Amino acid sequence: MGCQITNVIRFAWLEPGSRQVEQDRKLCYTASVESPEPIGGIVSMADSIRILHTGDLHIGMENYGRLDPATGLNGRVMDFLRRLSEVVDYALENEVDLFLFAGDAYKSRDPNSTYRREFARRIKRLADGGIPVVLLLGNHDLPAQERRASSVEAFRTLDVPNVLVASADQLHRLTTRRGEPIQVATVPYPIRQRLLAYEEHKDKTIAELDALVQDLMAENIRALAEQVDPALPAVLLGHFSVSEARYGSERTVMLGRDVVVLQSVLADPAWDYVALGHIHRHQELNRGQSPPIVYCGSLERIDFGEESEPKGFVIAEVQRGRAEWRFQPVRARRFLTIRADVREATDPLAALLETIAGQEVADAVVRLIVQARPEQEGLVRDADVRRALSDAYYVAGINIEVERAYRQRLGGESPEELTPTELLTRYLESKDTPRERIEMLVQYAQEILVDF
């Protein structure tokens, strides 16, 4: 079925350092008279709009990867791209009406041209298939300098049909693939420098500034809710942290101090569905009440902190006053921690190899943590252990834990199980560093680590 052109819809873009510029965009959709079919556990609602909600892709993460000879890219980068392809395939095969990407397409603010090309190829498949796409800016998409372009700015510059780059707090009226109107309010990651005038607030403490930014965020979101047409479905798409949310491994890749929005600000009847990105752990925050407040979660695991977390995206069926949703898992790379205690074994190596044999290591990123007595440490031969792990995709570490006095400084925690920022925090705490200075130094460390 051909592509029909809807009425011209006017969007207002707010560029950093410039006046508000209005730009006409034409969104096309594939005409259809069919109602959505039931999706898995969801009972499809008549006249509902089927939305795919995803985000936090972080293309460029190379942790635990090796070169993929077929592509010349790091194999872990290919994992992230395959997950995006999996999501795009699902959207096209299941006739999704609207595709919401909740920020953080790339790991860094300045991704290389290959990463940009591969992301663009997949987004273009959606656009060519008649599915409108909203690309929200996350903290990893924002330029380090205010007047520079974001990492996804090319879609807007080239005026790619069916793709909206959302860089401002704004309410957009869109037309879906099947020609249905919907309102999408976009709230990209908040930048303190744009919300606060330096001269006016330069003498405030960090805590005072955080509270002020939180208040401004709440005011902006409430103002968007007041603009909603109550006759049409309305979705809030945001990239920020929410109070009561459970964090995941995104703390290891966050840039700067985080802004937290109160959950009560989002639980507004103006919204039928609240689609969030930024926190990698999939979760719903409104306890089954309306509107659903949902973090889609990331599509791939970044580190062992996400080992047991399911990865996937969200399918939501939305109509005015009601929304039903479900989580759709993807084939994310498995992470596996194997723990073995050989302290009581007469043959520690044999005991360890038996433990490994009982695990599914094939194609997984594996780490091995072995508890041993000091005299056993040399009996666990590295070559034998690696041979037993040869089917693993990547061996992240073979750690022989022998009780030593220095480990007690970490409160009984193993240093191998802590992230770099957690290790830095523990070290600074052991030196009685003031809490505010610890927070500042950890922030600087995160900004350095994100580029490595």
Helix, strand, coil fractions of the chain, as percent rounded to 5? 30, 25, 45
Contact 187, 105 (CB under 8 A): no
* Whether 118 and 240 share a structural domain: yes
Percent of all residues in the chain with a pLDDT value above 70, rounded to a whole number: 79
What residue numbers bound the domain in which 452 lies?
418-452
- CA gap 53, 102 in Å, rounded: 7
Q: Which of 329, 350, 373 is the last residue of a domain?
A: 329
Q: Which of 55-69, 245-259, 330-344 has the lowest mean pLDDT?
A: 245-259
* Whether 213 and 246 share a structural domain: yes
Instruction: Give me the pLDDT at residue 39, please.
Output: 36
**How many residues are given for the chain?**
452
Tell how many helices (H) and how many strands (E) occur in the chain: 11, 23
- CA gap 333, 311 in Å, rounded: 9
Query: With bands split at pLDDT 50, 70 and 90, how would you rate the model's confidence at 139?
Result: confident
* Whether 124 and 254 share a structural domain: yes
- CA gap 167, 187 in Å, rounded: 8
Taking residue 270's Cβ as centre, other Cβ atoms within 10 Å add up to: 18
Q: What is the DSSP letter of 142?
A: S
Q: What is the DSSP letter of 44?
A: P
* Whether 350 and 312 share a structural domain: no
Query: With bands split at pLDDT 50, 70 and 90, how would you rate the model's confidence at 121?
Result: very high
Instruction: Give me the pLDDT at residue 409, please.
Output: 52
Instruction: Give me the pLDDT at residue 422, please.
Output: 82
Residues 188-243: tens digit of each pLDDT = 998 766 656 555 666 777 778 778 888 999 999 999 999 999 999 999 999 999 98
The distance from CA 109 to its chain's CA centroid, rounded to whole angstroms, is: 14
* Whether 269 and 342 share a structural domain: no
Q: Which of 23-32, 171-180, 286-295, 357-366 has the lowest mean pLDDT?
A: 23-32
Token duo for residue 407: 């480990």
Taking residue 281's Cβ as centre, other Cβ atoms within 10 Å add up to: 18
Does residue 129 register a pLDDT over 90? yes
Instruction: Give me the pLDDT at residue 15, please.
Output: 33
Token duo for residue 142: 């924002």
Domains contained in the chain, number: 3
What is the DSSP secondary-structure string of 53-103? EE----BT--TT--EETTTTEEHHHHHHHHHHHHHHHHHHHTT-SEEEE-S
Query: Per-residue pLDDT averaged across 343-349, rounded?
Result: 94
Query: With bands split at pLDDT 50, 70 and 90, how would you rate the model's confidence at 65?
Result: very high
Q: Which of 291, 309, 329 is the last residue of a domain?
A: 329
Instruction: Give me the pLDDT at residue 156, please.
Output: 80
* Whether 279 and 209 share a structural domain: yes
Q: Which of 311, 329, 347 is the last residue of a domain?
A: 329
* Whether 298 and 364 share a structural domain: no
Q: Which of 190, 92, 94, 78 is nearest to 133 (CA)?
A: 92
* Whether 343 and 452 share a structural domain: no
Query: With bands split at pLDDT 50, 70 and 90, how would you rate the model's confidence at 3?
Result: very low
Token duo for residue 192: 């303190």
Does residue 309 register a pLDDT over 60? yes
Higher per-residue pLDDT: 208 or 342: 342
- Burial group, residue 90, by CB count within 10 angstroms (0-12, 13-18, 19+): middle
Query: Per-residue pLDDT averaged across 296-310, rounded?
Result: 95
What's the whole-model pTM score? 0.78
* Whether 364 and 407 share a structural domain: yes
* Whether 353 and 449 share a structural domain: no
Instruction: Give me the pLDDT at residue 206, please.
Output: 73
Q: Which residues contact 412 (CB under 8 A, 6 or more apart)?
A: none
Query: With bands split at pLDDT 50, 70 and 90, how would you rate the model's confidence at 37?
Result: very low
Contact 150, 141 (CB under 8 A): yes
Token duo for residue 296: 């889609």
- CA gap 323, 16 in Å, rounded: 34
5 in helix, strand or coil?
Answer: strand
- CA gap 323, 233 in Å, rounded: 9
- CA gap 97, 317 in Å, rounded: 10
**Rounded to 5°, angle at Cα 447 from 444 and 449:** 105
Domain of residue 160, CATH code = 3.60.21.10
- The dihedral over CA atoms of 277, 241, 273, 125, expressed in degrees to the nearest 10, equals -10
- CA gap 363, 187 in Å, rounded: 38
Higher per-residue pLDDT: 407 or 85: 85
Higher per-residue pLDDT: 211 or 185: 185
Strands 49-54 and 273-277: what pairing? Answer: unpaired
Percent of all residues in the chain with a pLDDT value above 90, rounded to a whole number: 58
- The dihedral over CA atoms of 105, 123, 168, 139, expressed in degrees to the nearest 10, equals 0
Does residue 27 register a pLDDT over 50? no
- CA gap 402, 372 in Å, rounded: 5
Q: Which of 84-98, 129-143, 336-350, 362-376 has the lowest mean pLDDT?
A: 129-143
φ/ψ region of 104 (left if φ > 0, alpha if ψ in -120 to 50, else beta) reads: left
* Whether 127 and 263 share a structural domain: yes
- CA gap 48, 326 in Å, rounded: 15
* Whether 207 and 256 share a structural domain: yes
